[in-house]
Amino acid sequence: MPNTYHCILTHGGAGSDAAFRDGAETACRMGMDALGQGTGALEAAVRGVVALENDGRFNAGVGSRARADGSVQMDACVMDSDGRFGAVAVIEGFRNPVLIAHKLMASEHCMRAGRGAAEFALEHDFETWTGRKGTADASYEGSDTVGCVAFDGTRFAAALSTGGTGGSPAGRVGDVPLLGCGLYAGPYGAVAATGKGEAIARNMTAFRAYQMLEEGMGPNFVIEEVLDWFEEDEDIGLILMSRKAWAGQSNRSMAWSGLSEGEP
Ligand code: GLY
């Protein structure tokens, strides 16, 4: 399928150092390779996020920040334009929560949290991981959720993963595993948000951004509109794509990257 249009975007989180763009580029390349192999958009988005989870410079997977009590609790989710959705919340002790969310998507449930999420992971042979001992960081400085959106010429997909907000209380959940808040994918495009989870959730950010794509607004216009919904002290970043165009932006620094091949 040499002329099929493929597109992928990744980001290392609102607040991530723009100098870490190489990490986002590597993740994009891994997702694009998957698209080229014909895996489809969902697998490509998952592979992009796995690369970001494995890059300790970002707040997800191996780089996840610790909670106030020193625990490392992570959230992740995946969605595609067929309406399939899977999420895990406050999961501890695994390296790549996005893979567990992806596996969960194929189960009878959409989301599992805490002990139940870990039980699900063990039942499906995910190895536990104790490579990182958390150090609580109560400041909100630093980076947030990582994400990826992908288009395989037919379907859109989005994936997110986060260590949450450093120093937040154990059990706190932000926007990531909430459908339509941190991410959304449908037949008109895909959106992945990053930033202050409470503000992202209150704004139903990803779904409302998607609705603008559905109404025909261009990705750059949509991003400008969405950034306006947030106060100055609320960090927010987005990557999003329609069938023809894509964009990424944040009101903080943000390492992000995009690749496309073929003609839209
Ligand atoms: N955006 C991730 C979080 O607030 O948990």
Residues 55, 244: Cα–Cα separation, whole Å: 30
- Judge whether 83 lies within some domain: yes
> How far is Cα 54 from Cα 50, in angstroms, rounded to an integer?
6
| 1 belongs to a structural domain | no
130 lies in a domain?
A: yes
pLDDT the model gives residue 167: 86
Q: What's the 156 CA to ligand 1 centre distance in angstroms?
A: 23
Ligand 1 centroid to Cα of residue 163, in Å, is: 8
Q: Kindly report the CATH number assigned to the domain that includes residue 101.
A: 3.60.20.30
User: In degrees rounded to 5, what are phi and psi of residue 48?
Assistant: -60, -45
Ligand 1 atom closest to the Cα of residue 13 is: 1
Question: Which is nearest to 149 in space by CA: 3, 22, 32?
Answer: 32
| The total number of structural domains that make up the chain | 1
Per-residue pLDDT of the chain (264 residues; tens, 9 = 90+): 457 999 999 999 999 999 999 999 999 999 999 999 999 999 999 999 999 999 999 999 999 999 999 999 999 999 999 999 999 999 999 999 999 999 999 999 999 999 999 999 999 999 999 876 555 454 445 689 999 999 999 999 999 999 998 789 999 999 999 999 999 999 999 999 999 999 999 999 999 999 999 999 999 999 999 999 999 999 999 999 999 999 999 999 999 999 999 999
Residue-level pLDDT at 3: 76
Kind plus residue range of the DSSP H or E element containing 116: helix 114-123
Q: What span, in angstroms and rounded, lies between the C-alpha atoms of 220 and 248?
A: 8
The pLDDT of residue 111 is 98
Residue 257 domain flag:
yes
**DSSP annotation of 18:** G
Structural domain of 237: 6-261
Which of 72, 140, 145 should be mutated for ligand 1, with most atoms under 8 A from CB?
A: 145
How many angstroms is it from 208 CA to the middle of ligand 1? Answer: 18
pLDDT value for 140: 42
pLDDT for 138 equals 44
Ligand 1, from 176, 234, 252: best to mutate by most atoms within 8 Å of Cβ?
A: 176
Residues with CB under 6 A from ligand 1: 144-145, 162, 164-165, 174-176, 194-197
Ligand 1 atom index nearest CA of 162:
2
Residue 175 located in a structural domain? yes
Residue 208, Cβ neighbours under 10 Å: how many? 17
Instruction: Give the closest residue (by CA) to ligand 1 atom 4.
Output: 197
pLDDT value at position 209? 98
CA of 203 to the centre of ligand 1 (A): 13
Atom of ligand 1 nearest to the CA of 200: 1
Q: In this predicted structure, what is the pLDDT of residue 132?
A: 61
Check: CB of residue 239 under 8 Å from CB of residue 213: no
- Tell me the whole-structure pTM to 2 decimals: 0.96
Q: How many C-beta atoms surround the C-beta of residue 216 within 10 A?
A: 9
The three-class DSSP label of residue 69 is coil
